[in-house]
Each structure stands twice: as C-alpha cells, then as structure tokens.
Amino acid sequence: MGVTLNGDQPGDVQIKDNKIFGCLVKFFTGLDRVALGESYMDGHWDVKDDNLVAFFEKALTSEYAFRKGPIMLSNFLHSFSLLTFNLQSKSRCKKDIHSHYDLGNDLFKLMLDRSMNYSCGYWYKNVVLSPSANSLLPSGQATNTICETVDEAQMNKMLLIARKLHLQPGMRILDIGCGWGYLAKFLATNFDVHVTGVTISKEQFDYACTTDLESHELEFLRVPGLKPDGSGQFEFKLQDYRDVNDKFDRIVSVGMLEHVGKANYETYFKIIQKNLKDDGLVLIQTIGIAQDYVPQVEPWANKYIFPGGMAPYPDQFVKATFGKFIIEDWHNLGQNYGRTLHAWNENFQKNWPKLADKYDIRFKRMWTYFLLCSEALFNLRKLNNWQVVLSKDGYKGGYISFR
C-alpha cells in the first residue's frame, strides 16, 4: 500500500528531478515541512494521473507523517515505503522566498460554487432524523441523498445554517467574516431578516456591495417552497469584527476562526458574547483538528496559502467558549470537506485556461497541491469541519438542532 517511485499504481510518484529525494527525506524526518510542496511546485515530481489525493492518502496515513522535528528512520520508512530510495542523492531544495500570491476574485469565481462559499459545503440533503418509530429504517440509518454539485451543496449548507439559527422574521443577524456576502444575501432573501456582514477584505467588501436585494442576480439564492414577505435586508461593512459594538439576535461566522489565531480565540468569543442578545444564538463553522498529532500550523500551507492561518484543537475551542457560552450542538461535517475540495479542484482544472494569462504554472501546481493535499487530509479525517451552536445561558425551551 506504499507509494512507489516511478510506479504505475494510483498515487505513485513520477520523478522528474532528483532533487525530490532530499525533499522527501526532509519532509518525513520532520526536518523541513516546506520543501516537498515547493519541489512539487517546481515540477520535480508528478503523481500518476495527477492523482495527488491518492498520494497523500497513502503518505499521510500514519501519524509519523505529522511529527515535528527529527524522527527515527524506521518511523520514516514505516510511514512511507519507498522501493527506490537513494539516500546519497539527497540535495538541498529550493527555499526561494516566494512572493505571496495576489489572488483576485476571478480565481474564486471560477473555482467556487455560484454563491462563492469558500468553506465546507453540506452534501447530505433530505435528511430525516427522528427517534419516532414511524420513520425508523431497519438499519437505524438516516435517510438522505447526496447533492450532485458543489453549487447545490453550498445552497444546502446555507439552508442548514439558517435552520440551525432558528430564524424569525425581523431578526438582526451579524455575519463575522462575511466573504463575498452570499450567506448574508441568502438569509435576507429567504428569511426576512436583517443581516450585517463584516469583512476586512477590501476586495470581498467591494464585491459584496455590487448587488442589492432587488437584483435579478440574486434570484438563484431563493429557496423553493419558502414564502418570504420581502422585508429582509443586508448591509456590508469594511470593518474589523473587534470594532463591532451592537446587539444582534443571531451571530454567524463561517470559515473565520481559522484566520483568528489561537492567541485571539478568547477575544473572538468575547466580542461575539458582547454583541449577542441574552437569548441569542451563535453558529460557528470552522475547520478543526481531528488528531492530537496533527500540527496546528503546517509550514508549507502557512507560507504559500494561508499565512497566519491555523485550525483550532477541540479543547482550545471549548476552553475559549466555556464560561461565556453553553454548547447547544456540535456537528462534525468533516466528511463533507473532501467532496467540496474535490469539486473545487475540478472547477479549477477545468477553468485553468481562463486563468492561465494571470497565473503562472508554478501557481497552478501550488494551488493543485493545496487543494488535493487538503482533500486527502479531510478524507483521512486528520482534519474535521465543525458547526457549533452556542447560547449564553441555554436556549429557552431547549435547543433542537438540524442535520
């Protein structure tokens, strides 16, 4: 089940340049967690059929692949069995300082779904969950079907969030880290609520402000079967969430905690607490680390993809919320992120010709590496994705969630 150099099985590495040998050694001995990705970016190796997911699913199965610092060679071999391996041929990998990518909206428009949700989608739909006997299946399994496209999965995800928030017409919602604004628009369009989205990204803010509620462009966000009275509103602010000083019925924050940094978890939840009415609800969606041996910051990704980004460990999450909030519901939807990333990569590869003028081939390889390594990490359940619902002192009447 190991990875074979120049082999013909899924995930087998195809050597283009011998510099890869040194990078592999450094990666799996923990000496250098950046060089392997860089050597891929530089074209020193490929994977048969471009199946990087299969490569990572084999290479990252063992916890040894996540160890920091030097480890025993036996551990290395345990984690990554190489049929052809030349210790003498190792060489220094390039460590050029890569000028940080300047990602435009066009990349995300061509990669993400139509509603530009840059976070885990929710692929299970029509889930029927009830302990009542009437709907019991012999297997005890939920009945559900799987969304066919990432567009559908993200609409489904936004609907799940709306249901979990127990929205009532007229409520005021704060969306912290609102991205390109579609969740705010979705909630306002379908649930007659007033949503304030805050972001510190000028590019996202400008994009979010280009459409208003009457725009024909937002028709696709309408959920069939709902009959909103059209009183919903949304607004966007180019503002640090720490400067928000208001009171909201609901606060939602999707894919934001990953950018907050562990030093600021306390602050993040204090600000949310301060801006939430006493009988309010909070929904946080975030990547979470699933295994204690997985590091919070992966150097390659930190250098090239998300500088300063880190997913929380579950105990960090709980520690930062306890005393401020009660956990009403914790939903692990990590399995959905593999599918989401898979779809994003399909879109990215398909639309590459439209991007090739702006981005070079090294960027393409970097982005592919990022998407497919991430897909493998979620498929292997090294990373999770959580939706956690919080209340201040317990939701009146008891909180019932949705799936």
For its own copies, the binding residues in 217-246 under the rule CB under 8 A are 223-227
Q: Of these, 57, 249, 328, 375, which contacts its own copies (CB under 8 A)?
A: 328
Q: Of these, 233, 314, 351, 362, which contacts its own copies (CB under 8 A)?
A: 314
Measured distance CA(27)–CA(25) in Å, rounded: 5
In this complex, which beta carbon is closest to its own copies, that of residue 107 or of residue 290? 290
Measured distance CA(63)–CA(22) in Å, rounded: 21
Residue 89 binds its own copies, judged by CB under 8 A: no
Q: Of these, 5, 77, 297, 327, which contacts its own copies (CB under 8 A)?
A: 327
Q: Which burial class, exposed, middle or buried, applies to 87 when counting CB atoms under 10 A from its CB (0-12, 13-18, 19+)?
A: exposed
Q: How far is the CB of 139 from its own copies (least distance, A)?
A: 6
CA nearest to 401, candidates 151, 217, 127: 127
Direct distance between the N- and C-terminal alpha carbons of the chain, in angstroms, rounded to an integer: 35
In this complex, which beta carbon is closest to its own copies, that of residue 236 or of residue 386? 386
- CA distances from residue 102 to 105, 281, 310 in whole angstroms, order as listed: 10, 36, 20
CA nearest to 253, candidates 300, 310, 295, 195: 195
Q: Of these, 159, 183, 198, 366, which contacts its own copies (CB under 8 A)?
A: 159
Residue 68 binds its own copies, judged by CB under 8 A: no
Residue 301 binds its own copies, judged by CB under 8 A: no
Angle between helices 335-350 and 150-164 (to 10 degrees): 140
Q: Of these, 140, 245, 353, 360, which contacts its own copies (CB under 8 A)?
A: 140
Residue 319 binds its own copies, judged by CB under 8 A: yes
For its own copies, the binding residues in 102-131 under the rule CB under 8 A are 122, 124-131
Residue 291 binds its own copies, judged by CB under 8 A: yes
Q: Which stretch binds its own copies (CB under 8 A): 7-15, 107-115, 155-163, 251-259?
A: 155-163
- CA distances from residue 198 to 206, 214, 253 in whole angstroms, order as listed: 12, 21, 10
Q: Which burial class, exposed, middle or buried, applies to 207 when counting CB atoms under 10 A from its CB (0-12, 13-18, 19+)?
A: buried
Q: Of these, 322, 346, 350, 356, which contacts its own copies (CB under 8 A)?
A: 322
Q: How many residues make contact with its own copies (CB under 8 A)?
A: 69
Q: How far is the CB of 136 from its own copies (least distance, A)?
A: 6
For its own copies, the binding residues in 336-395 under the rule CB under 8 A are 336, 381, 384, 393-395
Q: Which stretch binds its own copies (CB under 8 A): 27-35, 101-109, 158-166, 357-365?
A: 158-166
Q: Which stretch binds its own copies (CB under 8 A): 102-110, 157-165, 257-265, 272-280?
A: 157-165
Contact by Cβ (8 Å): 253, 265: no
Question: 124-128 and 143-146 as β-strands: parallel, antiparallel, unpaired?
Answer: antiparallel
- What values do phi and psi take at 336, rounded to 5? -75, -20
Q: Which residues contact 288 (CB under 8 A, 6 or more apart)?
A: 311, 312, 313, 314, 317, 332, 334, 383, 384, 385, 386
For its own copies, the binding residues in 188-217 under the rule CB under 8 A are 191
Q: Is the dihedral of CA 70, 74, 80, 86 positive or negative?
A: positive
CA nearest to 249, candidates 388, 117, 392, 403: 392
Q: Which stretch binds its own copies (CB under 8 A): 49-57, 263-271, 284-292, 353-361?
A: 284-292
Residues that bind its own copies (CB under 8 A): 122, 124-134, 136, 138-142, 144, 156, 159-160, 162-163, 165-169, 191, 223-227, 290-293, 313-315, 318-319, 322-323, 326-336, 381, 384, 393-395, 397-403
